[in-house]
Amino acid sequence: MRELSRRVGAQINAVRNEIENLTHLGLLVASEASPDGAEEEGANAPRRRAAGQRKYFRINSDSVIFPELRDLFAKSQVLLEKEFVQKLAGIGPVAYLALSGFFVSEESAPTDVFVVGRVSRDKVAAVVKSFEREVGREINFTVMTPQEYRYRHSVTDRFLYGILEARKIVIIDTLTARPAV
């Protein structure tokens, strides 16, 4: 509860009350053992476990309201991502914008956001930093100028081709657009 109160910036009693409410509703399940089975380390670990001061909570996926809450969180994530994309597209002339990695559940992707355009890296960083705060995780991004993109493409740059061949959602693509015949 202390960790959660630090993360959300709320008083520990407020967090405790909400966790109790969620447990009472059957959405959370409490246990004395760590959900990952890891043992605590340090001189005070046995005393803490014996005193029962560590309590772990996990989501009860058998709860009646779990599917609706999962769908609600997924929808809110989509709305956050849509706003994020709009902000990125509005920072300047973007020739290519793709979301990969975190956005397509591909942890091994070389980057999460790939931008090619005449844009300020600092502006992209500010938009990404804001999005990171909203989703609570680090987002890796890559920015290239169109000239750098063309050069790396011509020399078959491994990093660039890793991005282009990875699973992704392409939002803007005026680099590879072919004229109609």
- Per domain, the residue ranges of the chain are 2-64, 71-173
**What is the pLDDT at residue 40?**
46
User: How far is it, in rounded angstroms, from Cα 137 to Cα 131?
Assistant: 9
Put simply, whether the predicted model's pTM sits higher than 0.75 gets the answer: no
**What is the pLDDT at residue 165?**
92
**What is the pLDDT at residue 168?**
92
Determine contact, residues 97/114, Cβ cutoff 8 Å.
yes
**What is the pLDDT at residue 85?**
86
**What is the pLDDT at residue 117?**
94
Which strand ranges, in their side-by-side order, compose the sheet holding 94-100? 141-144, 113-117, 94-100, 168-173
**What is the pLDDT at residue 53?**
67
User: How far is it, in rounded angstroms, from Cα 162 to Cα 98?
Assistant: 13
Give the residues of the chain that fall short of pLDDT 70: 33-53, 74-78, 177-181
Contacts of 116 (CB under 8 A, 6+ apart): 94, 95, 96, 97, 143, 144, 145, 146, 149, 175
